[in-house]
Amino acid sequence: MGPEISTNIASILRAMENVIIPAIDKNQSLAREQAYLTVIYLRMIQEQHDKIFHFRLLEISEYSAILKSLLAKDYSSAAPDAAAAARQALGDASALQTVQLQAYDVFVCTARALREAADALVADLIRARGGDDAIEAEIASLLIGQAGIEALRERSWVAGLGLDPRPEQLQPLADLLRP
């Protein structure tokens, strides 16, 4: 279970709708209501999760514009400490002002296309140069190394479930997501 949030939420929704809600006693109206509210919120998250960065970038842009407008006025000198803090906040946000995010699906499709291209290239190289131990050893080293990195990253991704048999091997996910 990796970062395919929509797929993971779909699994949770199926469990809620097909197993959990039907198992709740009909006389437990509050429990049933809460279960249905959970389903509604999960559907909303499933629909919106891929837009969270766009949402925040728009908010950063809008509030930056407000601060710039206020700081450009003469009366901002009446609140020098707040104006300094506002300038600092604008400076901190400046790098994010130039971020141009693609739609989430573009990232998913690009990652998939790169994996598929690597698979095809490896297969063709092995067919074309099969028997060349040096090339096969280099390919194996690259692929095994990447598989180890991916396995650790995916295990760390779902570490919060508490199901990993060797959690002491895991690193913080934020550390693993740095290029």
Q: Which tens digits make up the pLDDT trace of 99-148? A: 888 888 898 889 999 999 999 999 998 888 877 888 889 999 999 999 99
Q: How many CB atoms are closer than 10 A to CB 156?
A: 20
**Which residue in the block uniquely carries the two structure tokens 């002002």?**
97
Alpha helices in the chain (DSSP H): 5-15, 21-23, 29-48, 52-72, 80-97, 104-129, 133-157, 173-176
> 48-56 contacts: CB < 8 A, separation 24 or more?
49/5, 49/6, 49/9, 50/5, 50/6, 50/103, 50/104, 50/105, 51/104, 53/101, 54/101
- Each domain of the chain, given as residue ranges in start order, spans 5-97, 104-161
Residue 26: half-sphere exposure toward Cβ, Cα within 13 Å: 0
- Over its length of 179 residues, how does the chain's per-residue pLDDT go in tens digits? 567 888 999 999 999 999 999 999 999 999 999 999 999 999 999 999 888 899 999 999 999 999 999 999 877 788 889 999 999 999 999 989 888 888 888 988 899 999 999 999 999 988 888 778 888 899 999 999 999 999 999 999 888 889 999 999 999 988 988 87
pTM: 0.68
Length of the chain: 179
